[in-house]
Chains A and B, each alone.
Chain A
Amino acid sequence: MTREKSFDVIIVGIGGQGTILASNILGSACLLERKPVKGAETHGMAQRGGSVESHIRIGGVFGPLIPPGTADLLIGFDLLEARRYAHYLRPEGVMVVNRQLVVPTSVHMAGTPPPTITQVEEALEGFRLCLVDAEALAVQAGSPLTQNVVMMGAASHFLPLGYESLRKAMELQVPAKTVETNIRAFELGRDAGKECGDRITPR
């Protein structure tokens, strides 16, 4: 049986942050480059403001699930969620994470001290980490709802997919009336991720 290794990406966040749209962008880009692709995502009750994960296997020919400890890239829409799923990455894997933290309501209710951005960042220090201020860039692009596309722009430096096909895929996937805002968001994300791309060389 073919054992060409797929490039495995895990996208994590909070239900409602747009992980499914992000995974659609990757899937669509794979089709444009005629690469096989498999993915798995969270639906139903589990997505009501809960922790969500999408698996995408670029070049994948087997099942959609990525075994823990083997993912090549983690894209995190929230710092805490990146930390929660960090064990999915292989040791040399790269993490591209939105530098924001939504404290789970359960923490407020329990009255325990909420984790801070600094604490979570410190906990992620061992990883090859690229932090992106996606909220500010999304607002700059014209809509805070485009944070997921900002993140895809930033992550584009680490994906085995061409810039052209990723951008085209993004244009195909976002709602038609928001294409221009999303193009700005993607480009701002791409610029922000460039420094990481220069610093974190592929291994």
Chain B
Amino acid sequence: MEPQYLLGNEAIAHGCLEAPIDLACGYPGTPSSEVIDILRVCPGRGYYVEWSVNEKVALENALAAAWCGVRALCTMKHVGLNVAADPLMTSAYTGVTGGLVIMSADDPFAHSSQNEQDSRCYAQFSRIPCLDPASIQEAHDMVRDAFRLSEEFALPVLFRPTTRICHSKGDVVLGDAAKPGRKGEFHRDPRQYVVIPAHTRVLHKKLNEKQPGIKKRLVDLGYNHYQVRGEVAVISGGIAAEYVREVLPDNVSFMKIGAYPIDEEWLSGFVRLHRKVVVVEELAPVIEGAVREVSGTVEVHGKKDGHSPYEGEFSPGLVSGILSSAGISPAVTYPKVTPAPDVPPRPPILCAGCPHRAVFYAMRKIFKDGLYPSDIGCYTLGLQMGAVDTTICMGASITVGSGMKHAGEERDVVATIGDSTFLHTGIQGLLNAVYNGADMTVVILDNRITAMTGHQPNPTTGVTATGDPSPPVSLEAICRACGVSFVETVDPYNLVSLTTALKDAKARPGVKVIIARQACVISARRAGIKRGVFTVDQDVCTDCGLCIQFGCPGIERTGQGVRVTDLCSGCAICTQICPSGAIRKGGKK
């Protein structure tokens, strides 16, 4: 087939079609989201696909499917694997009959994440194989092979691309998509699938007995390989191996690890051919640990002796520096350059007309001395408005808020959480807070979509992943069922009703919920909603700057005064903020 210029995630999705898969589940998370996004719109799709409400749910769905003998894919980002860690650990014991591939996309440098954890550690922890691609082509080939490997060893396989695989592009040669044709059937076997202690002790032993065979097979598969070229060697894996290839001199040996667990005997054979070995890998010292275990008297350099960092993303320049630091002259060196110091930052920002901005603005007005625990989503950008005090993980805003109150904090607590995040793991926090008598306000920022990761539908949207209509869940009914008696739904574009609801909530004890419902501006624009053009009447404007402080990118200050820009989406919040009534509907854009 002719090469195509594809995003890593597109190549991965196609690898799944070649396997072929029968079921795909996931929860959106950068950099993993496009895999399901592509699978859900594939024409002629012969497999089941869903956006699940969280990663644990997705994995349990996929695991059951794999028990029924079909091929199942489950996708998430690295922090999502924490949510799915419970079924993950035991899935290694029960094993699978069909292929189960868990894609957990890592994010070195935390480009769009709350931490830099390394999913390879989870594979090691749960004792399942892990495939770690170094290029887009390899990501495509590996994910396809992962299903075969999973069935060969009757184990889930962890597939761990990183941001620079998922979100890089390259010329990729794809194979032909195959037609899914398996029909799942569950064969009852309580000794395999009911993990009571008597069964689990046997299953754990069986899992351990599989390990030597897996290690040998991974070497045979060719994802771990080496070239001996001198008495000094570099061992690398993942995208870092590409940076090494770019700067490695010709007289230095090279080993690339693409699959775990690493066969110790094979690794030892290579290491002991050398005088010195330098290990280059992003994040955790997984390869380095294995190398140090078998190195004997061979000199080993890496993270543990300070030549290589534990954190952040690697690059050709950084890898070149690691090699120099460990005594290898790189074949390529790079100039030392410094960015211009005087360029004002341009961080990501809530869109012009984003309904969340109005909520944060009103919260700050009504709860001047409040505390604002928040959560994971676009709205975390409310940080720039001083309306986000904590962000830990999905669903942690309500729990953090109730924890603050139970600790004795006397200030008002206002937690913010998005609709998708609320359904993901927010509900449990809410029912816990209510039942245990917390005193706080919860604002559900309900824009009916999972916006930050690319507008994936969730159960509030009213359509499934494949676009089939489905009754949207009632957040009001869920909150009431959790025991909340004060549940108010408001339109955040109406500042008066929004602030009234916040004042009402402030005046009452217990857990109060305000659902601020308004479509995401990007969804609204795509749906063709036009709310009109707004302009500033320069004769009326007193240049007080209140609208500028609102922080909307649709308003700017020029030499001639304040101006509404082309970015304006017509939400009209600024007209309600302006004390002199200078911003009005109408005029020319």
Contacts and interface: CB of A to CB of B under 8 A. Distances in A.
Given A31-B4, A69-B336, A86-B340, A23 B31 contact: no
25 contacts: A37-B5, A37-B169, A38-B171, A39-B5, A39-B168, A42-B111, A42-B167, A44-B111, A45-B112, A45-B378, A45-B381, A45-B452, A48-B452, A49-B351, A56-B169, A60-B170, A65-B316, A68-B334, A69-B335, A80-B344, A88-B337, A104-B344, A106-B344, A109-B549, A109-B551
A41 B169 contact: yes
Interface stretch (A111-119, A152-160, A182-190, A195-203): A111-119
Interface in B324-358: 331-332, 334-340, 342-351
Nearest to B380: A45
B425 interface: no
A108 B552 CA distance: 10
Contacts of B348: 15, 45-50
Contact of A62 (B111, B246, B336, B552): B246
Interface in A142-168: 144
Contacts of B339: 84-87
A136 interface: no
Give the most central of B243, B246, B336, B552: most A CB within 10 Å.
Answer: B246
A108 B30 contact: no
B256 to A, nearest CB: 12
B170 A43 contact: no
A129 interface: no
Interface of A: 1, 3, 14-15, 23-24, 27-28, 30-31, 36-51, 56, 60, 62-65, 67-70, 80-81, 83-88, 90, 103-109, 111-112, 114-115, 123, 144
Given A30-B171, A37-B171, A115-B344, A64 B243 contact: no
Contacts of A103: 556
Contact of B169 (A15, A27, A47, A84): A27
Contacts of A115: 344
B574 to A, nearest CB: 13
A62 B316 contact: yes
Contacts of B169: 23-24, 27, 37-41, 56, 64
Given A31-B171, A67-B316, 8 more contacts: A24-B169, A49-B553, A50-B349, A60-B170, A64-B168, A65-B243, A106-B384, A123-B342
B14 interface: no
B112 A40 contact: no
B504 interface: no
Contacts of A43: 30-31, 112, 167, 454
A173 to B, nearest CB: 10
B170 A114 contact: no
Contacts of B242: 62-63
B557 interface: yes
Nearest to B385: A109
Contacts of A41: 167-169
A170 to B, nearest CB: 13
A19 to B, nearest CB: 12
Contacts of B135: 63
Contacts, number: 173
B335 A44 contact: no
Given A27-B5, A40-B169, A46-B112, A108 B347 contact: no
Given A23-B169, A37-B5, A106-B346, A45 B30 contact: yes
B340 A83 contact: yes
A179 to B, nearest CB: 19
Interface in B307-321: 315-317
B576 interface: no
A37 to B, nearest CB: 5
B148 interface: no
B343 A114 contact: no
B575 interface: no
**Consensus secondary structure, chain A interface:** mixed
B343 to A, nearest CB: 5
A103 B563 CA distance: 12
A31 B2 CA distance: 9
B246 to A, nearest CB: 4
Contact of B317 (A62, A67, A107): A67
A58 to B, nearest CB: 11
Contact of A69 (B245, B334, B346, B557): B334
Contact of B344 (A48, A90, A107): A107
Contact of B164 (A49, A64, A90): A64
B3 interface: yes
Interface string B1-18: 011110000000000000
Given A41-B167, A84-B340, A109-B548, A63 B111 contact: no
Interface in B519-566: 545, 548-549, 551-553, 555-557, 566
Nearest to A51: B346
A105 B167 contact: no
A63 B316 contact: yes
Contacts of A14: 346
A87 to B, nearest CB: 4
Contacts of B551: 105, 109
A104 B167 CA distance: 25
Interface string B285-327: 0000000000000000000000000000001110000000000
A24 B168 contact: no
Given A37-B170, A46-B348, A62-B243, A3 B553 contact: no
Nearest to B549: A109
Contacts of B452: 44-45, 48
A48 B350 contact: yes
Contacts of A80: 343-344, 346
Given A49-B553, A65-B315, A65-B316, A106 B335 contact: no
For the complex of A and B, 4 pairs with smallest distance between CB atoms:
A44-B30, A27-B5, A44-B112, A63-B242
A182 B15 CA distance: 33
B347 A24 contact: no
A36 B173 CA distance: 11
B250 interface: yes
B114 to A, nearest CB: 11
A56 B170 CA distance: 9
A43 B31 CA distance: 8
Contacts of B414: none
Contacts of A88: 337
Given A45-B112, A50-B349, A51-B346, A65 B340 contact: no
Candidate in B248, B337, B351 with the most chain A CB atoms within 10 angstroms: B337
B157 interface: no
B337 A68 contact: yes
A39 B340 CA distance: 24
A107 B548 CA distance: 10
B170 A38 contact: yes
A50 B346 contact: yes
